[in-house]
Amino acid sequence: MLLKPGTRLKSAVCATEVVVVRAPADELDVRCGGEGMVLLSAPDAPGGSIDPMRAEGTLLGKRYADEDLGLELLCTKGGDGSLSLGDTVIPVKGSKPLPSSD
């Protein structure tokens, strides 16, 4: 699907929710737990299960990014599935915290 900053997605097979921070202007196959993610506003469709190969889990507040592609997702609710783009895992983005200025 086409993503833009602010788009919110949920996993079809676990509790994971993400928001798009950055995205390229291409059709993307974002999955969680091996199943395609759906818009947060979409009705729940129970029945699927997590692919055991995609069960590393997601953590609230972590950013997941494919730097080459320009895709970045922020996890707004953690779950048991892991995020992938097609079959490629989307790694956690390393953070270099800035000194606070507030």
- The distance of closest approach from Cβ of residue 66 to another protein in the complex, given in angstroms and rounded to an integer, is 17
Name which of 99, 90, 78 is nearest 31 in CA terms.
90
Per CB under 8 A, the segment of 23-31, 43-51, 61-69, 83-91 that binds another protein is 61-69
Name which of 37, 44, 43, 34 is nearest 3 in CA terms.
37
- Position among 19, 38, 55, 89 found at the interface with another protein (CB under 8 A): 19
- The distance of closest approach from Cβ of residue 74 to another protein in the complex, given in angstroms and rounded to an integer, is 6
Encoding tokens for residue 99? 């000194």
Name which of 93, 64, 76, 59 is nearest 10 in CA terms.
76
Give the integer Cα–Cα distance in Å for 79 and 101: 32
- Position among 38, 57, 76, 85 found at the interface with another protein (CB under 8 A): 76
Q: Which is nearer to another protein, 8 or 48 (CB)?
A: 8
**Contact residues for another protein (CB under 8 A)?**
5-6, 8, 19, 21, 40-41, 60-63, 74, 76-77, 95-102
